[in-house]
Chains A and B, each alone.
Chain A
């Protein structure tokens, strides 16, 4: 019911005319309006659906698989005892307080109270109690932090009213966790795909190698190489000391005859045959002819990590086990049938031979089709498996401990033991997510920085964070390959949104319509493949595999069989997929170079939807869209009816996709839904990005995240460490379709400033802006900064506790000025103005808080003041005071202090085109130029910003904005579309303006007309978070560091302004010795020392302790740091001696 209501609201909004006067409910002429599928897609999928889908998959499916793999706990002591997990479910988030009546909890409460938004993990167990088998359901084993808006979240499926009741913003995308009150995102991690062969060539060393990282469920990963070394091919694996000649490896895998080896690797290709021949000789030279010999050879070189003490096994057995379970673990070995694995190794070898023959046959590591994205669900699954295994190990240990006791008073009940297992799982999750350290020794995983605090600087920064992808590559490596824009990123990853600097190109963002797959079971897929006529690989010989018309069929990297009719097989397979017989996320494509058909159903592939084109016509017709607008069809129906399908990068490369309907030719297989979806959510804010120089769009992507605006409908209910809000945010005059889809028009960050592009006063050089004082008076650029100040009122172990006190009174009955705003409860009143130095929490701590031997009355102990004082140089107001209890019953007080700021000289502004600038001058309105209508600009921008930046999009934005103002409606600047300049000019002329957007202005100073026409109109300007007030700093005298006695560093410590090396160099070059001396010593750490002319060591009070004399002591002034150095050297047994001489 709730979902239904929500849906209606959503549809009502989408159905409003919003683009070229069209809404979803307007009649559709052709499939031209196919972009309407985009809101439909976002309605089902949403912007952060990848995170949520992944988490849902973990909670609903994967967690059960993990349980199944670890479902039994037995005892070493009592063989009759067993405990079995039969089911696992994750409940809904609830309150942990034992005495709470209302157990329901909202995410916002968790944010405010610094608690974790988590749900219990409940298992069903069966175990033996004495001779009976007991079953218990809903046993709590720990708590799992819940992703917002996932299946298990209370916010899912709620409408705006219900969300408002829970103080939650309907535009908030969810997809993050709340752990100890902070919002944490598990970033998407990019990796090379698993279980696939990657061939690389090292041209400097002349090495060709095929590698494959095997990963099976259970997590153990290992990498196998087939590489050339001195012209011969070897198999290399970590568990084998020495490289195994490939012929030996294949013989060990059961391919005994040389002829068969040759056929499986080189086939009938003469060039391959001749380059493979030496390998057969190598095996013969080593005296390896039979399988047994090969196993012996390998067995003696296998690394044995024997834990169980038992009889030593023969070498061949070791080799057999290693080959079956460790080398290429993902290729199944059933009942010692090594055939599939042999074929796999042979394929790897063949790929090496192919690359040796033709350098073009290597794979591209940076190709997006070879990448897999790891999401929150997968990371949590690994974490859970690790924690669960430890939990079970601990459980087993404590069960053993009890069972070991010879006589027990009562019958042993494992359930009770389980209750006392502590919160290992809960704490493990909380620790991992809040620190971001995924160190799972069991899976050889040690990653730091997996999670990040969700940036709430602006709505866009939060959204941008949810679509971010971080790469595993080291940032320090100076390689261009992984950083470069890959053609295969088209439509999947945003080409503009990447940071500048060291992480450039390594941190990426998803495009608007991308989806990341989750695992799909592969057994049914394999069955379908066989049903469609694939022949089992175990039945094929080398001659058949590499026969002229055969294609090898792979499922998720494992070779399953052969087909002689690849095109027919693929089209049949696709037909089944479009009919919905199996998951729409299974991809299939033909690789003609390798003569393979590849089917992929693994998780982490990037894919996006596309319209299917058949017989030169898109299958989606206007009727379908009519039904879509009437709500009879949803996006999923489009999928189910085979009108739209998801293509992953590999399948996309095997398709012929038309960008527009007019581009459809007979061979076309698909049609793009909308070209602007190739940009991400953040780049989608830029109007006319296709007219800008590309780096400008990238700069805007970085700056859009720093813009001050509205961050959520619940922004005034939040108590964040630092929150920037705009007082009067406006929706942009020039919107894009993306803006509407992501809701930026409802949570904007900027204002439509009337801009005159002209030079004014000289205070506008280097991109500085001139602002109109009257505009500032009227609220332009006004923003608020809210800062959280929190403290705990603690209870100490010795029984004492902190307390709040009212303002202290001196002997005259007066209170000090700084306690003015403290009320009787010891806290500042809400709404009071806080001046610098004022106390807003008058906390007192017991003097003996840490004295654990104290046993007296807690109420009688002496207290000392520990007040919280306001430190900012500018007054603020108390916005909110919150008192609550944390999870461990400490009283938590949060005070939110707000400052309202008006723009001042030096504040940073930016348009949406990567054109940032600081305010250089604030000019009175009467001094501003004005046009015939009497309009004066809010901002004057120097025209020198244009020629070198080439941000033509900004100029068009101005034109479209001006036309929009005159016509009384919003214009569109959507990428690869948007309002046309010609139309905009026409509107201008119709309203009596010059077509070019240039107005005749009159100088406000002289009153005479300006001799040039000025480009004049509205441009959306963002105020960025960098404000002078937070940065300005100067010092004459101030604190010094204790160790070196030099001035402290940094604004926060009221530090000095450093005269650095380069400045020093200048002074040396100039010869200003006295100035140098003054800057570097006298004004810094001047120190008087006594030194002995005799021994050259330092003394004191005119006495040399080394010479035991005061004869030749001299006083000199040196930097304290130098004195420190001498003493530290002496401590290291180095004698620094001063040679003193009169100058």
Chain B
């Protein structure tokens, strides 16, 4: 699906109203102007049909840990809301309580605990509830960390000298509680990355702790953020000025001002933009620096074409993070709707039930209702 749409950009892309101007020293037209009342004689009121027509979501790249997808046809506020939710409001599990029974390593209890908290855990948070007060098998995951370093008795000179020289996230031992054993039988909870060094030990040093992981959101602490980062950039657009072509002898230099592959140079020195690779452009604005290219080219970005890039930390597959953020968003909308409806119901109650009383005289605040 990706290949068919990007070989030729849709014509609407060249609509100047969709453009953010990228100039040498400033950015122009950052905000959308297509809202009701801005353009005389144009109707920009929101319509579902139009929204359905313009909205496009397409995945461009998907790997084990990250996804790049395009979100076209929404306002920055909507796209940003999803980005923000992915960063801070999609819940995950992280270690919150650490019970230290013994720690003779050089790393201090609270520093080690902090490090433990930041380990991403591969458990689907949807299977857990938020912990209210008491830990239960439905809201708490228990790990044990028991590591003792010892000297290898007959170690070769250049090989490793110690057993458990490094305490790694893979040393976390899951302790199933209640029904967890059956629920997670197929995929036992562990750290997503087993090679995170937590501490270094020397013979005789030991760490013995119990760790409780609970569900939380990134707003509270970054350890509960499900993403390494989630962000977007606007789709770049390079407009060549037909009335001032790039001089053929400078074509190579012109091309080198952009990311590789973005600008094509034909054998006779004609310059053209490869629209399939346009999204690779990093907008370094290098071309605007050279006097000889002044007026040859205009740099733009498309205001409502968001190239999202989301790097998952593990608990969610990268492609499920965006839907998850929509779920959170819908939850928020639902609660606002509930509240709004309650408000509406209240005012209707007031309007019908207590109207005679209100008209009788000043109310509790001392305001007199005007007729």
Bound together, the chains give a CA A716 to CA B282 distance in angstroms of 47
Can you sample 12 A-B contacts with CB below 8 Å?
A: A773-B222, A898-B108, A993-B282, A994-B285, A1002-B80, A1007-B79, A1007-B81, A1008-B30, A1010-B30, A1012-B25, A1012-B27, A1013-B26
A906-941, CB < 8 A from B: 924-926, 930, 932-936
Q: A925-B87, A926-B88 are in contact. Are A1009 and B77 (CB under 8 A)?
A: no
Residue of A whose beta carbon sits closest to that of B233: A932
Contact B284 A994 (CB under 8 A): yes
Q: Does A1004 contact B (CB under 8 A)?
A: yes
Chain A nearest CB from B322 CB (Å) reads 15
Query: Which residues does chain A contribute within 8 Å of B114, judged by CB atoms?
Result: 779, 782
Contact A992 B229 (CB under 8 A): no
Contact B284 A992 (CB under 8 A): yes
B207-227, CB < 8 A from A: 218-219, 221-223, 225
Bound together, the chains give a CA A995 to CA B230 distance in angstroms of 26
Q: B283-327, CB under 8 A of A: which get 1 and which 0?
A: 111100100000000000100000001010000000000000000
Bound together, the chains give a CA A136 to CA B259 distance in angstroms of 87
B1-33, CB < 8 A from A: 20, 22, 25-28, 30-31
Q: Does A543 contact B (CB under 8 A)?
A: no
Chain B nearest CB from A725 CB (Å) reads 10
Query: Which residues does chain A contribute within 8 Å of B218, judged by CB atoms?
Result: 774, 925
Contact A778 B110 (CB under 8 A): no
Bound together, the chains give a CA A779 to CA B116 distance in angstroms of 12
Residue of B whose beta carbon sits closest to that of A935: B229
Query: Which residues does chain B contribute within 8 Å of A1011, judged by CB atoms?
Result: 26-28, 30
Query: Which residues does chain B contribute within 8 Å of A727, judged by CB atoms?
Result: 111
Contact B309 A1013 (CB under 8 A): no
Q: A930-B231, A994-B284 are in contact. Are A1006 and B221 (CB under 8 A)?
A: no
**7 additional A-B residue pairs with CB within 8 Å, beyond A877-B109, A932-B282, A1007-B76:** A727-B111, A898-B108, A933-B231, A989-B284, A1000-B22, A1013-B25, A1013-B26
Contact A877 B118 (CB under 8 A): no
Chain A nearest CB from B252 CB (Å) reads 15
Q: Does B84 contact A (CB under 8 A)?
A: yes
Q: A777-B222, A989-B284, A1002-B233 are in contact. Are A995 and B108 (CB under 8 A)?
A: no
Contact B84 A995 (CB under 8 A): no
Q: A465-506, CB under 8 A of B: which get 1 and which 0?
A: 000000000000000000000000000000000000000000
Contact B26 A1012 (CB under 8 A): yes
Bound together, the chains give a CA A761 to CA B5 distance in angstroms of 41
B76-106, CB < 8 A from A: 76-77, 79-81, 83-84, 87-88, 100, 103, 106
Which of A779, A924, A932, A1010 interacts with B283 by CB under 8 Å?
A932
Chain B nearest CB from A492 CB (Å) reads 42
A943-1002, CB < 8 A from B: 988-989, 992-995, 1000, 1002
Contact A1007 B77 (CB under 8 A): yes
Q: A934-B309, A1006-B80, A1007-B80 are in contact. Are A716 and B106 (CB under 8 A)?
A: yes
Contact A831 B30 (CB under 8 A): no
Query: Which residues does chain B contribute within 8 Å of A1008, judged by CB atoms?
Result: 30-31, 76
Query: Which residues does chain B contribute within 8 Å of A879, judged by CB atoms?
Result: 108
Q: Does B234 contact A (CB under 8 A)?
A: yes
Which of A782, A989, A1010 interacts with B27 by CB under 8 Å?
A1010
Residue of A whose beta carbon sits closest to that of B20: A1009
Bound together, the chains give a CA A989 to CA B287 distance in angstroms of 11
Contact B88 A900 (CB under 8 A): no
Interface size in chain A (residues, C-beta < 8 A): 41
Q: State the 5 A-B residue pairs at the shortest beta-carbon distance, nearest first.
A: A1007-B80, A934-B231, A992-B282, A777-B222, A1007-B76
Q: Does A421 contact B (CB under 8 A)?
A: no
Q: A774-B222, A925-B222, A1013-B27 are in contact. Are A1000 and B283 (CB under 8 A)?
A: yes
Bound together, the chains give a CA A327 to CA B194 distance in angstroms of 83
Contact A877 B108 (CB under 8 A): yes
Chain A nearest CB from B333 CB (Å) reads 18
Chain A nearest CB from B280 CB (Å) reads 9
Chain B CB within 10 Å — which of A782, A784, A831 has the most?
A: A831
Contact B27 A1000 (CB under 8 A): yes
Q: A926-B84, A932-B233, A932-B282 are in contact. Are A900 and B79 (CB under 8 A)?
A: no
Contact A1009 B80 (CB under 8 A): no
Q: A678-701, CB under 8 A of B: which get 1 and which 0?
A: 000000000000000000000000
Query: Which residues does chain A contribute within 8 Å of B110, judged by CB atoms?
Result: 877, 900
Chain B nearest CB from A878 CB (Å) reads 10
Q: A754-794, CB under 8 A of B: which get 1 and which 0?
A: 00000000000000000001100111001010000000000
Query: Which residues does chain B contribute within 8 Å of A936, judged by CB atoms?
Result: 229
Contact B111 A1009 (CB under 8 A): no
Bound together, the chains give a CA A1011 to CA B88 distance in angstroms of 26
Query: Which residues does chain A contribute within 8 Å of B109, judged by CB atoms?
Result: 831, 877
Chain A nearest CB from B263 CB (Å) reads 13
Q: A846-879, CB under 8 A of B: which get 1 and which 0?
A: 0000000000000000000000000000000101
Query: Which residues does chain A contribute within 8 Å of B229, judged by CB atoms?
Result: 930, 934-936
Chain A nearest CB from B324 CB (Å) reads 15
Q: A831-B109, A1012-B26 are in contact. Are A1004 and B84 (CB under 8 A)?
A: yes
Residue of B whose beta carbon sits closest to that of A902: B114
Bound together, the chains give a CA A1011 to CA B81 distance in angstroms of 20
Query: Which residues does chain B contribute within 8 Å of A993, judged by CB atoms?
Result: 282, 284
Query: Which residues does chain B contribute within 8 Å of A774, judged by CB atoms?
Result: 218, 222, 225
Query: Which residues does chain A contribute within 8 Å of B84, judged by CB atoms?
Result: 926, 1004
Query: Which residues does chain B contribute within 8 Å of A1006, judged by CB atoms?
Result: 76-77, 80
Contact A1009 B234 (CB under 8 A): yes
Query: Which residues does chain B contribute within 8 Å of A994, judged by CB atoms?
Result: 284-286
Q: B35-56, CB under 8 A of A: which get 1 and which 0?
A: 0000000000000000000000
Query: Which residues does chain A contribute within 8 Å of B225, judged by CB atoms?
Result: 774, 925
Chain A CB within 10 Å — which of B88, B108, B283 has the most?
A: B108
Contact B223 A777 (CB under 8 A): yes
B107-129, CB < 8 A from A: 108-111, 114, 118
Query: Which residues does chain A contribute within 8 Å of B28, judged by CB atoms?
Result: 1011
Contact A778 B108 (CB under 8 A): no
